[in-house]
Amino acid sequence: MFSRHTETGYRESLPGITQKTLVSGKNTLMAEFRLDRGTELPRHAHPHEQTGYLVSGHMTLRIQHEESEIRPGDSWNIPGNVGHSAIIHEDSVAIEVFYPVREEYLL
């Protein structure tokens, strides 16, 4: 499956955070997240494994009890059912892959 870049299809997941599903397959889904400066992603967990890459911006990411300053080119992995949160210091763009597919992101 191929997917071409468009500027449409973004939806707000939380105030200051928009997302767009880029492509999905039988087992994985890849999404782009646009995160506004000053936004705080509250601690949450879900059954999906989540692997991410910061394209631009700056944020602090907390996975369980470990915290890291994330800058462009940095990546992370969050196991399923593990609590995580973030503070967005600059407007940021992140690409994340989820396993299994997050069905709610296909809507």
Q: 0.75 cut: is pTM over it?
A: yes
16-20 LR contacts (CB < 8 Å, sep 24+): 16/88, 17/41, 19/105
Domains of the chain: 11-106 (2.60.120.10)
pLDDT in tens, the chain (107 residues): 788 989 999 999 999 999 999 999 999 999 999 999 999 999 999 999 999 999 999 999 999 999 999 999 999 999 999 999 999 999 999 999 999 999 999 97
